[in-house]
Every structure is written in C-alpha cells, then in structure tokens.
Structure 1
C-alpha cells in the first residue's frame, strides 16, 4: 500500500500468465532482452496482471481487472494462465466487496485487462462489480465493437458488451476526470483508444501506464511490444509520460511486471531513464 495524498493505493493481482518473450519485447533481439528477462525453453516469460485499487473517503476505484473467471480450460492453457483468478480474494482481504467498487477504469479492452469486468453466473454473463460505472475510452469501444476483423480481432465481446447491456458503461475522452483526483489520458499506441490513468492529490501522483509500459524493462526508449498498433506513438507518449513522472516524482505502475510492479523514475543527466524501486 502507498499513500497518494488522500488516496490509499493498493496493487492487487488480476492473475499471472506465461507469455512469448519475442512478442513482449518486439523488435529487440532475444540476445539482448534475455539478459534482463530470462525465458524458458519455449521462449515464455512469467508476467503479472497488476491492477490498482484506489480509495479515499468517497470513492473506491479499480483500475483494470485481469483475466477474470470465464475462460475455458483450453483458453487458460493457451494463455499459460496460473490457476485461479485472485482479484476478488485480494479485494476481500483488503475489506472490499465487489458491491463497494463504484468505478472500474479499463486501460483498454484486451482480455488480460478487461476479462474480469464480467463474470458468468447461472449461464449469464453479467458485470462483476454490480454498483460500478465501467470507464472505457470512446475510441477503444468503437474499435472493439466495430465488427471489422482488423480492428476488433483482438477483443472478446463477452468481456465488455454486458457492461453496456447493464447500463453501467461510461465512454470517455482524453483528459476526462473520472472522480475528483483521477483522470484518464488517451495515449493511443498500444491500441488507438488505449488510456493511462493519473491519480493526483496534495502534490503526490501516480500513473497507471497500462501497456504503454508493460514492464520496468520497457523503460528503455525503443522497447515496445509486438502488439502495439502504432509503434511510433507508443515511443512518443512513453517518453512524455516518463518525463512527466520523473519531473514530478510521481510513481508509475508496471502492470505486467512480477518483480517491480511500482517504482519511481529518475532522469539521468544524459537523459537515460533509470528505474527506482524504492518509493520515496
């Protein structure tokens, strides 16, 4: 737990999985990335799904939900998922029930970020958090629901269409305030409607990077995933976010990093970024 002004921020797990290292690091040669992220004999590396619970006296906000509980055994195997879905148990350990979450902000609608937004109950797929407003970027929603394979092929409709059917969907744009102290930043890059989340209070701040910075190793300027739809945009916005975090001593969340889920960023005199694992 860290305190960001009036916000208590806890990192909670949306699951763990194994993922192809070549996809995770894109154009970076394995001879380089394996020095910081060793892979197994199938080229797989273990990753987290780090979600964020932010609470103050008024609001209980969850950022991303992990993979959820709907996936079939075959899908779980193909994604290399670890057993179970720990998110609800970890929320319960913090004294938070699904009914108490009033906002769920989704960085984007890929299965490992939005799968837990809905659950299957008695054969029906319904929102996991019955009292929550689910916050999705407008462009992201348009692409995910377009029906065009080129745009919607990476999405699972059961993860998000029930949110609209239940009347719990809120579409937002760049720099829109979700609740006082929390706003979304449309980054593009990974998907056209990908959004980061900024939490600020009393001069303190935290940025949930989503897949703009999936692991702390992606602090390197040119390291991006193969899934990024607009590689140049990812590189540009990543630099902007890292500069902003470094200049303001804001913490950042690396949502797929098992070892360093949160850190601060220092700016080297030669303008090379350094990860700081200690939160000051």
Structure 2
C-alpha cells in the first residue's frame, strides 16, 4: 500500500465560524485572521494505492463554480486536484473509487465537472463513488442550516451516473474498500459523516475530515459553528482522541493549512497535541 496527500487548493472561512464559542482572543493565536476575520484553510485529500485499486478520499471544491461563489471563499494556492494527481503520475480516469466522508461542497465538489457545453458529468468516469444512505438522504433533502453546503450540482450527477454505492457500516467494510480497517460514523458535524481508519507502515491512520479540521481543534470546546450538533461533536471527538492517544494514531488533517498530520497525548489538561508530521515521514 502507498498513501499520498492530495492538495486541491486553499480557501478562507470566517474564524469565528470555525471555532464556535471560543473567543477570538484565543483562536487567533492558532490561526491569525485577515482584516475581514477570515482564516486560511486547506482542502487536503488522500490517495491510496492498494491491491490494484486507486482510492481517493474527498476531492475539494472543484473548479466548476462561478466566480461569485469562488469569491465568497477566496480560493487560492497553486494546487488543484488534477495537478496533484498528475504529479503522482495519475489522471482522474485512473481512480477506481471515490470515498466521500460527507457531501459538504468543500469535500465533494471535485466529484463533478462541467463540460464545455455547460452540462455536468462525473469527474471520475471509471470510479465507484461511496457515501452512505442516511447521509445521502440528509444531503439531498437538506435542512435550512446546511442547505448552502449541500449543492445539488455536486451531488445529484453522481447518482444519475449510476456509479454511486452506499456503505453499510453495520455489515462491515465493503470488499472494495478493504484498505480501511474500520469506518467511524460521526453525527456531530452532520448526519453520518464517515472517518476512515487504516493501517499503514505499522501505524494506525485516521482521516479526520471535519471531526478534527486542524491541530487547533484538539481541545474539546474548540468545535466549529458549522456543526449541527456541537455537544455530540465533543463526545465523538473525545472518544477518537482518547483512542488516538492510547494507541499512538496518526491523525490526518483535511483543513489544517500548515500541518498534514499529528499525534496526540494524554496530559493533565486532557488530550493535547504531541507532534506534527508529514505523511511522507512515516
């Protein structure tokens, strides 16, 4: 097995929204904001080469949105999904499976692209797309709070392509996703977000998605204002962080603009950051 981080660019979100009830005087030490209170975040994905398959976990915002939309989030940086794949010698046609932790636009927007004639089509023509039924239903009939994050143009073309499959965690990890040791379901950020866990080079890796966006979110009260059930997030995050500290997991960070990954440790203040690292260092 080989695992690579895939950069898809940077974007900005309001610092207060990213840290919820935590005062700016505290979170700005971790993520300094610009004059508009916006902080820079990564959209870092994961590519797994294993047993003849090429599995992509999440895929960023994509490039089909108009300039007005892109301006809201100040997309910047040199990386794109296609450029990052090409650096590794791959194209979108080589991807066999696309695993979507959840369907918010900054995690699944690259699933679908716009053709020159304006029509939408899946960006990975030979891939099976993986979600789960409960989250899919939640996304296609969104609540008012999350409606702006679940964009139909990112979601419905996947189903229309016939390439969509659902994970049933109760039945075990599907054979096509055998790279994963387990899939942790989390309901605090959104309904049935999936956090994949895998073994790699003698270590346990967890791709944390929005359960732990960055190292700055390790303390339990540091929960995003975007989360639909913040108290549930705290409980879920605590459980995973305890396991990670007990077993020396490597936590892969999707939104941390500086750090690809980290480990955590038990302290008298609770679980805290132990060290940051790069996947390539394993």
- Establish whether TM, by shorter chain, passes 0.5: yes
Alignment of 1:180 onto 2:181: no
- Quick one: structure 1 residues 25 and 142, their matched pair in 2 at CA, closer, same or farther if it must change by over 3 Å? same
Aligned match of 1:110: 104
Structure 1 stretches of 4+ moved >6 Å: none
> Is the partner of 2:210 in helix, strand or coil?
helix
Shift of 1:79: 1.3
- Quick one: structure 1 residues 46 and 100, their matched pair in 2 at CA, closer, same or farther if it must change by over 3 Å? same
Shift of 1:154: 2.8
1:176-223 Cα deviation digits (max 9, x unpaired): 414223142211110012111111257432101111111110011110
Aligned match of 1:3: none
> Is the partner of 2:84 in helix, strand or coil?
helix
Aligned match of 2:258: 259
Kindly report which structure 2 residues correspond to 1:209-220, keeping only aligned pairs within 5 A, or say none.
Answer: 209-220=208-219
Quote the Cα distance in structure 1 between the aligned partners of 2:89 and 2:51: 14
1:76 to 55, 70, 73: 70
Quote the Cα distance in structure 1 between the aligned partners of 2:216 and 2:233: 15
Shift of 1:9: 1.3
TM-score with structure 2 length normalisation?
Answer: 0.91
Shift of 1:269: 5.5
Shift of 1:272: 3.1
Alignment of 1:132 onto 2:131: no
Aligned match of 2:37: 43
Alignment of 1:52 onto 2:46: yes
Contact 1:9 1:53 in 2 (8 A): yes
1:53-106 Cα deviation digits (max 9, x unpaired): 111232211000000011101111011111676111111110111111111111
Q: Which structure 1 segments of 5+ residues have no match?
A: 1-6
TM-score with structure 1 length normalisation?
Answer: 0.92
Q: What is the RMSD computed on CA atoms of the aligned residues? A: 1.9
Alignment of 1:168 onto 2:167: no
> Is the partner of 2:233 in helix, strand or coil?
helix
Quote the Cα distance in structure 1 between the aligned partners of 2:271 and 2:145: 36
Q: Which structure 2 segments of 5+ residues have no match?
A: none
1:145-179 Cα deviation digits (max 9, x unpaired): 12654564431011011111111111123364142
- Quick one: structure 1 residues 39 and 121, their matched pair in 2 at CA, closer, same or farther if it must change by over 3 Å? same
- Quick one: structure 1 residues 70 and 85, their matched pair in 2 at CA, closer, same or farther if it must change by over 3 Å? farther
